[in-house]
Structure 1
Amino acid sequence: MDKAKKKKHLKKRKKDSPENYARVGIIYFKIIWVSNRFESIVRNFVRWSRQELLVDFSDNKHLLKKIKIYDGFGMFPDNTKNGYVKSEYNLLNRYDSFLYEPKEGEWGYVRAFLMHIFGEQYNLGLRYFQTLYMYPKVILPVLVLVSKARETGKTTFLNFVMAIFGNNAVMLNNEMIGSSFNGSYAWKNIICIDEAGLNHNNLDEKIKLLSTAKTIEVNEKFVPHYSLPFYGKLIIASNKENSFLRIDSEEVRYFIRKLKKPKTHDSFFLDKMIGQIPAFIYHLSQMEEPDFNKSRQLFTVKELKNDSLKAVVEESKSYVYKELQESFIELFANNDISDSIVHATPTDIKQRFFINNHKIDRVQVKKALKDEFGFKKEGLSRYVPFGIRNMSSKTGRPWVIEKRIFMEE
């Protein structure tokens, strides 16, 4: 139902209409329709007591029997007019009907904005939006927009997404996403987090878990816990370009775009884009279906790789990794080591590089060699530590250190 039809529909509903209420399990809710900041009519559920219902229907108590009773809440995301259902399996759909109907037309403002946001990855950006609209159940990588500068389009992008998807999207801050109460976003299809600096381990892990979760235990105040299928897609806007959270190598959960300031400024640009939403979603509906077999999150590692992702991955490396990197770069630069690989144990490395550094021990060195550099350990053998010719050979279980990893720098 589009916005105009929704407003007309609301005018027909009486104040004490049974349509305004629902019983879900043993709890009554009043369904309240309100206008959001983009003048779209959206649905809110407010817990209602039976005593309050008796007051509301004091003159028409026979209508109480017409209030629909559901076994629970369900999530059945569908943005198409013919595919959307109010309920299924006697579960009340928490997903709202889509606000707009597609209509062929001009969407130049939207195209220009998406080209600014996605740059050389514009086609990936279109595919991302196509999936949000046409395939809302599909898992997508966490989209992250970063820039130290202001007025680069980060918040405008979030607002545009909110305008398109209405009550199926939500805007959160760090405190809200970190709270144990998740009722504000558990049933949302799109979760926007503005100006995030998610540099706390618990938030890092929460973002990672949400990005691939298939179900979520809903924890709302004054409502018993219940489980829902989770289809949430995360979009983060941050002014921390390289350190908004920790990202491991070969990570496929993040689609990162570093934004620059646009050449021109238009205070009414968002309004102009909102006016083109019907034409934009029409274009998305006409695009070729994506290949969902390439990756569990639609995009491959190769497609998502860019300089912004590389910078975040490097910043996410541990202190020990960074110290080892600098130490080996200096070692290879200042010694005549012709071999492509050298050998050393964590003890050798500790004694050569960190003999007076009490923050780094052999266990940390071993962990960095294995988990962050990806080096392999050899069996018991004779070796020359670091491949330096004037050093005596020794027996041990050394790690194989690849010279190319450090000389690329």
Structure 2
Amino acid sequence: MNLDSAEFIRVGTSYYAIIERPTISKDTEKIMISWNKETIVNDLGKDYISAIKKYYGFCCIPQHINYEREIGDFYNIYHPLDYNIETESEIDLQELQLKIPYTLKYIKHIFAEQYLLGLDYLKILLENPTQILPVLVLVSSERETGKSTFLKWLRKIFSFNATFINADSFVNNFNSDLNGKLLVLVDEIITDNQQVTERIKFLSTADRNKIESKGKDKEEVESFYKFVMTSNFEKNFIKIDKKETRFWVRKIPSIIKNPEFDKHLYKEIPFFLNYLVRIPHSTPKQTRMWFTPEQIRTSALTRLMNYENENAKQKVFEIINEIHENFNEDEILIAPKDIQSISKRIHGRNSIEINEARNVLKTLNLTPSNNSNKYEGYEYLPHGEFVKIDRKGRYYSIIFSEIRHFFDDSDDSLITI
């Protein structure tokens, strides 16, 4: 063991070694690991201890330009970038552009008509890491789009300040891997867990988060997370409503990449960072998330928002159709709570809510009974059989022959009714 290359520090009453760890790419990355005082004495001598730098504690101050490792008597755990950014020397922009052809082409592929906003997003990440930004999601059901490459590229740029996690991590008790991170990267997200959605929404705008590690008490820390995700499921990778403004969803087309594309992309990073700090923002800050909802609205986001409504509509139509086929009745009396109950038996955790059922019935131009009355409703038994049952409530009277055209529009499989 060569200890000459190691740096030792004391934070509080604990000792740490800062060393270079080899990577698969044959580079090294700087990491900090716990070390034992007695081991330092045994290896380097008692006098060495007095020369070790000492700090009261850790802090996390995100900086990429004019980085400071020591903030007062505290040790900054935010990692400096591995690249040199010249902010004072004059560099010709056209000359820089000639050095980053792969990068600019790739950003245009990812952001297309929102190319300038994409550059703004990356410039903000670099220059103002505490600025709140929208949740960026790259979606495509196609293969070879380069969306996963985007996450790897960001990880390469921001190093240990970016971390890969899966969707389940948002609802796990232990979340210490998020501590001090700028970028939270989620590859191939797909979840119907509303708790995950709410957690992402909260963390994307929160300035503090509670971190919990195994065997340790929860600790409240400052947070500045930016979420970047990818998914193969364009319409339903997550549940969001039509009023949501925190998501920026882009559909990414296929691309034919040079087998050495990633290497070229990584090689251009130092020049690209110097390019970013020299170009102006294309749009000024207008909201707490910098961009307005209108600026980041895309057809991919609209499809995601509309999916839940269309999905609920389809489920209600399937239930009405099943009742019609089972009882061969033109008039069907049913309440939203009946539809929800039946849906729970059929669809399980993906069942529709009462309000969703009510909204679908309204799209059929139906109105409920004026008062809570007795009616003969329907129930779906656990073994898969529909039965009639006496109920009381404000029900809707559905004349199947009058709404047949709605079914024809919703699903080809229902046209033969």
Percent of matched pairs sharing the same residue: 28
Quote the offset at 1:130 in angstroms: 0.7
User: How many Å separate the matches in 2 of 1:315 and 1:298?
Assistant: 27
User: How many Å separate the matches in 2 of 1:197 and 1:288?
Assistant: 36
Superposed, 1:218-229 pairs within 5 Å as 218-221=211-214, 225-229=218-222
Q: Which of 263, 281, 284 is the equivalent residue of 2:276? A: 284
Q: Which of 155, 166, 169 is the equivalent residue of 1:173? A: 166
| Pairing 1:97–2:80 present | yes
Instruction: Tell me which amino acid in the other structure corresponds to 1:243.
Output: N
Instruction: Evaluate the alpha carbon distance shift between residue 351 and residue 217 of structure 1 in structure 2; reply closer, same or farther with a 3 A threshold.
Output: closer
Partner of 1:271: 263
**What is the TM-score normalised by the length of structure 2?**
0.71
User: How many Å separate the matches in 1 of 2:245 and 2:70?
Assistant: 34
- Residue 16 of structure 1 contacts residue 56 of structure 1 at CA under 8 Å; is this kept in 2? no
Superposed, 1:186-225 pairs within 5 Å as 186-221=179-214, 225=218
User: How many Å separate the matches in 2 of 1:353 and 1:188?
Assistant: 45
Deviates more, 1:30-39 or 1:226-235: 30-39
User: How many Å separate the matches in 1 of 2:254 and 2:297?
Assistant: 22
User: How many Å separate the matches in 1 of 2:50 and 2:235?
Assistant: 58
1:250 is paired with a residue of what secondary structure? Answer: coil
Instruction: Evaluate the alpha carbon distance shift between residue 387 and residue 179 of structure 1 in structure 2; reply closer, same or farther with a 3 A threshold.
Output: closer
1:310 is paired with a residue of what secondary structure? Answer: helix
Partner of 2:293: 301
Instruction: Evaluate the alpha carbon distance shift between residue 316 and residue 194 of structure 1 in structure 2; reply closer, same or farther with a 3 A threshold.
Output: same
1:60-93 deviations in Å (ceiling 9; x for gaps): 211112222222221111111xx21102132211
User: How many Å separate the matches in 2 of 1:222 and 1:205?
Assistant: 27
User: How many Å separate the matches in 1 of 2:370 and 2:259?
Assistant: 70
Instruction: Evaluate the alpha carbon distance shift between residue 195 and residue 100 of structure 1 in structure 2; reply closer, same or farther with a 3 A threshold.
Output: same
Quote the offset at 1:37 in angstroms: 4.7
Partner of 1:77: 62
Instruction: Tell me which amino acid in the other structure corresponds to 2:142.
Output: A
Partner of 2:144: 151
Q: Which of 44, 52, 57 is the equivalent residue of 1:67? A: 52
Instruction: Evaluate the alpha carbon distance shift between residue 318 and residue 205 of structure 1 in structure 2; reply closer, same or farther with a 3 A threshold.
Output: farther
User: How many Å separate the matches in 1 of 2:143 and 2:293?
Assistant: 29
- Residue 320 of structure 1 contacts residue 360 of structure 1 at CA under 8 Å; is this kept in 2? no
Partner of 2:328: none
- Residue 245 of structure 1 contacts residue 316 of structure 1 at CA under 8 Å; is this kept in 2? no
Mark the runs of 5 or more structure 2 residues left unpaired by the alignment. Answer: 320-331, 345-351, 373-393, 395-405, 411-417
Quote the offset at 1:175 in angstroms: 4.7
Partner of 2:228: 235
**What is the TM-score normalised by the length of structure 1?**
0.73
Quote the offset at 1:202 in angstroms: 3.1
Partner of 2:114: 121
User: How many Å separate the matches in 2 of 1:352 and 1:225?
Assistant: 46
| Pairing 1:258–2:251 present | yes
1:5-43 deviations in Å (ceiling 9; x for gaps): xxxxxxxxx7157x7222223332222222445555432
2:3 is paired with a residue of what secondary structure? Answer: coil
What's the C-alpha RMSD, in Å, of the aligned pairs?
3.8
User: How many Å separate the matches in 1 of 2:228 and 2:63?
Assistant: 20
- Residue 312 of structure 2 contacts residue 356 of structure 2 at CA under 8 Å; is this kept in 1? no
1:216-251 deviations in Å (ceiling 9; x for gaps): 233334666544321221111111212221112132
Quote the offset at 1:49 in angstroms: 2.8
How many residue pairs get aligned? The number is 348
- Residue 336 of structure 2 contacts residue 354 of structure 2 at CA under 8 Å; is this kept in 1? no
- Residue 40 of structure 1 contacts residue 166 of structure 1 at CA under 8 Å; is this kept in 2? no
User: How many Å separate the matches in 1 of 2:215 and 2:335?
Assistant: 60
